[in-house]
Structures are given as structure tokens and as C-alpha cells.
């Protein structure tokens, strides 16, 4: 009989799916690493489990403890699933720009959720960075995850996602494209792939209102680049330790409008019901067209599932209110 011992045994080994209609103007093969097949419906299940197992191994997370993290939703889901199986409590801190569905999903799997304002400085005591850190210091028998600076985040993708992509493409991958938030996915996958073939190009998808692209190109952390944006799960107003800029060959920025429009198009033209960052990612691939040749194999990673965004980019009233559709 074939079965997993628990739900955590189903994490990873997600499929590659060929993109068709949306990329018909590109000269190359475009394959999607389809991470919604993970049990928590996102790529974050991989690093959530890795971070917990590493914290258990070195004693940072003790039996019956409380896991505390600031999350845009998907890391929280992965942590919550592992916590249920392993017997931990969870407190998650989220910014108020995240979809209501994400908050509801966190609570559905037993987590306590605290919502903080988005439009404040990272150092502001009200920010979700500050609140989660403070709770980690104040809560007895707790462990503050800090996915942004936790090396287990990158390690998870170096040990699982990267090798899967290399094997699934039979080593033929030439470009890896992915949205960048905490940096774990692009850094872990990119490091592994470049160790196999240093000619592979690694591209990050950034959003307007985030510091990554300019910092990568100039080395300058420009606060004028920072302003509120709608796109969820990618971009930052800080420099997480998990973003290894030496591994990244370049960034392309995608607008909020394009991210939302292409999220809808993925569903309606490819049958891919995916999250907001997938719209950014595929638009990013299209913007990089001039970098691709006929024999290239481009892998784009899609982070999470459309069910988390039903009230936003899959709601035409919301899209009209935002000015993204007529």
C-alpha cells in the first residue's frame, strides 16, 4: 500500500507544467513549477517544515512550544500544518493588505492571527515585523521563526526544489524565474542550479514599491523606492539575509495592475487557478523575452493558490474599483 505517514509526507515533488497560450509569442519552452500541489497549497510548506525541524534539532523549539511568525499567509499555513502534526501552538502576525481569505485560512487551521497596519516603517512598533519579534520575546516557551533571516528557508529549496527542477528538466533548464520576497526560493534553487551548470540564468521578479531591483543594480538601499503596493507575497522594504544577490542575474519589476490582470489570465487562458504572485511571475517572464532563444528551457515558479484571492483579483468589482479593468 502507498500512503504518507501524515500530511507532511506529501510536501514536495510538485509537477512541471508546460505553459501554452500566454507564452505563444516566446521562442522557448516555458515550464511552470506548480507549487500549489503542496498540502498547504504553496511553496512555503517546504521551508516551513525545514525551519521547524532545524529548530527542533538544535533546541530552539521545545515540546509544547508556541511558534510565532510574521507572515503574508503562506508561510503561516505551512507552519500551522506542521504544528498540528507535531503538537505546537501558533501565533501569526499579518499586514492588513493581505487578503481576508488568508486570515480566515490561518484561523481555520487553529492559529491565532494578529493583523497590523501595512503603511508603517518596518521599525515602527506597530509593523508586523516589530509585533512578531516582540511577541517572540514576551511569550513563554516560544520560538520566533524569522523566515526573512532564517537560513533554513534557503536550505529547504537548495535541498528539495532545486534538485527537483534539475531532475525534471533532465538538466536542460537554462533560466529560472521567480518572484522574490524572503529570498529563500530564488537563493536556494539558484545556488543548486548554478552548481550544476553555472551558465543557468536566475531572474527575480520584483514589484514597484520594493527595493530589490535598484539595490541589485546599484548597491544602494534607496528609501525613495519604497511605497505601498497591492501585490502580495513579493517585494520588500527591507533586505532579508536570505536574498543572495550574488546568485541573482537580474530583476524585472511588474506593476500591481499587470500582476492582477495576469493572475486572472492564468486562470482563464491556461486553467491555472493561482495566486497574485503567479501573475507577476508570468508577466515577468514575458518582459524578459529578449533574453530567450529557441532552444532555451525557462522554468517559472508559481507560489500559491487562487483560493486565497477570491475577494481580490478574482473579483471583478474589486478589479474595477482598483482601476485594473474597465
Co-location of 95 and 185 in the same domain: no
On whether the CB atoms of residues 16 and 169 are closer than 8 A, the answer is yes
Co-location of 129 and 278 in the same domain: no
Average pLDDT over residues 109-122: 90
Average pLDDT over residues 43-60: 98
Residue 62 lies in a domain: yes
Co-location of 101 and 222 in the same domain: no
From the list 31, 29, 17, the residue with the least C-alpha distance to 293 is 29
41's CB contacts (< 8 A; 6+ apart) are 74, 77, 304, 305, 307, 308
Residue 326 lies in a domain: no
Residue 269 lies in a domain: yes
CA distance 186 to 192: 10
On whether the CB atoms of residues 178 and 161 are closer than 8 A, the answer is no
Residue 215 lies in a domain: yes
Q: What is the pLDDT, as a whole number, of residue 95? A: 87
Domain count within the chain: 2
CA distance 185 to 277: 13
Residue 152 lies in a domain: no
165's CB contacts (< 8 A; 6+ apart) are 16, 33, 173, 176, 189, 193, 299
Co-location of 27 and 52 in the same domain: no
Q: Residue 212 is placed in which grid cell?
A: 530589490
Co-location of 119 and 244 in the same domain: no
Co-location of 57 and 30 in the same domain: no
Please, what is the end-to-end C-alpha distance for the chain in angstroms?
Answer: 53
**Mean pLDDT, the chain, as a whole number?**
96
> Among the three residues 96, 117, 144, which one is the final residue of a domain in this structure?
144
210's CB contacts (< 8 A; 6+ apart) are 225, 226, 229, 234, 235, 236, 237, 253
**What does the pLDDT look like over 299-323, one tens digit per residue?**
999 999 999 999 999 999 999 999 9
Question: 96: domain CATH number?
Answer: 3.40.50.1100
Cα Rg for the chain, rounded, in angstroms? Answer: 19
152: how many CB neighbours lie within 10 A of its CB? Answer: 22
Co-location of 220 and 281 in the same domain: yes
Residue 301 lies in a domain: yes
Q: Residue 146 is placed in which grid cell?
A: 524569522
From the list 36, 99, 112, 109, the residue with the least C-alpha distance to 69 is 112
Co-location of 73 and 21 in the same domain: no
- Please, which residues bridge with residue 253 across strands? 206
- DSSP string spanning 78-95? HHHHHHHHHT-EEEEEEE
On whether the CB atoms of residues 176 and 169 are closer than 8 A, the answer is no
On whether the CB atoms of residues 45 and 38 are closer than 8 A, the answer is yes
Average pLDDT over residues 271-300: 98
Cα dihedral across residues 278, 24, 198, 166: positive or negative: positive
Co-location of 128 and 265 in the same domain: no
Co-location of 219 and 314 in the same domain: yes
Average pLDDT over residues 59-82: 94
Per-residue exposure over 162-180, b if at least 16 CB sit within 10 Å of its own CB, e if not: bbbbbebbeeebbbbbbbb
99, pLDDT greater than 90 = no
- Please, which residues bridge with residue 112 across strands? 91
Q: What is the pLDDT, as a whole number, of residue 72? A: 82
Range of the domain at 64: 44-144
Q: Which residues are catalytic?
A: 44
**What does the pLDDT look like over 163-220, one tens digit per residue?**
999 999 999 999 999 999 999 999 999 999 999 999 999 999 999 999 999 999 999 9
pLDDT over 70, % of the chain: 100
Name the least confident of 45-54, 88-97, 273-282: 88-97
> Among the three residues 110, 144, 178, which one is the final residue of a domain in this structure?
144
Classified as helix, coil or strand, 156 is helix
Co-location of 248 and 167 in the same domain: yes
Residue 176 lies in a domain: yes
Co-location of 225 and 292 in the same domain: yes
User: What is Dmax (Cα atoms) for the chain?
Assistant: 58
> Among the three residues 144, 179, 196, which one is the final residue of a domain in this structure?
144
Residue 74 lies in a domain: yes
- Whole-structure pTM value: 0.95
Amino acid at each position: 500500500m502507498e500512503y504518507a505517514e501524515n500530511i507532511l509526507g506529501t510536501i514536495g515533488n510538485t509537477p512541471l507544467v508546460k505553459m501554452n497560450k500566454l507564452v505563444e509569442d516566446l521562442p522557448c519552452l516555458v515550464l511552470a513549477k506548480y507549487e500549489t500541489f503542496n498540502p498547504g497549497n504553496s511553496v512555503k510548506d517546504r521551508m516551513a517544515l525545514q525551519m521547524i525541524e532545524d529548530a527542533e534539532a538544535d533546541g530552539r523549539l521545545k515540546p509544547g512550544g508556541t511558534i510565532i511568525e510574521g507572515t503574508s499567509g503562506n508561510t503561516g499555513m505551512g507552519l500551522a500544518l506542521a504544528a498540528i502534526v507535531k503538537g505546537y501552538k501558533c501565533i501569526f502576525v499579518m499586514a492588513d493588505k493581505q487578503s481576508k481569505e488568508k486570515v480566515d485560512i490561518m484561523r481555520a487551521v487553529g492559529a491565532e492571527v494578529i493583523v497590523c497596519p501595512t503603511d508603517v516603517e518596518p521599525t515602527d512598533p506597530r509593523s508586523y515585523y516589530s509585533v512578531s519579534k516582540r511577541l517572540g520575546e514576551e511569550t513563554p516557551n516560544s520560538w520566533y521563526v524569522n523566515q526573512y533571516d532564517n537560513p533554513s528557508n534557503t536550505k529547504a529549496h537548495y535541498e528539495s526544489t532545486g534538485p527537483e527542477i534539475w531532475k525534471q528538466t533532465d538538466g536542460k533548464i537554462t533560466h529560472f524565474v521567480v518572484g522574490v520576497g524572503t529570498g529563500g526560493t530564488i537563493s536556494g534553487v539558484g545556488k543548486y542550479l548554478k552548481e550544476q551548470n553555472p551558465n543557468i540564468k536566475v531572474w527575480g521578479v520584483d514589484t514597484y514599491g520594493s527595493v530589490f531591483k535598484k539595490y541589485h543594480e546599484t548597491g544602494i538601499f534607496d528609501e525613495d523606492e519604497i511605497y505601498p503596493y497591492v501585490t502580495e507575497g513579493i517585494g520588500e522594504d527591507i533586505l532579508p539575509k536570505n536574498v543572495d544577490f550574488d546568485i541573482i542575474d537580474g530583476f524585472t519589476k511588474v506593476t500591481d495592475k499587470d500582476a492582477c490582470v495576469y493572475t486572472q489570465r492564468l486562470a482563464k487562458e491556461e486553467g491555472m487557478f493561482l495566486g497574485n504572485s503567479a501573475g507577476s511571475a508570468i508577466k515577468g517572464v514575458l518582459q524578459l523575452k529578449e533574453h530567450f532563444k529557441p532552444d532555451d528551457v525557462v522554468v517559472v515558479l508559481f507560489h500559491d493558490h487562487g483560493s486565497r484571492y477570491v475577494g481580490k483579483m478574482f473579483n471583478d468589482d474589486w478589479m474595477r474599483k482598483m482601476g485594473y479593468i474597465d
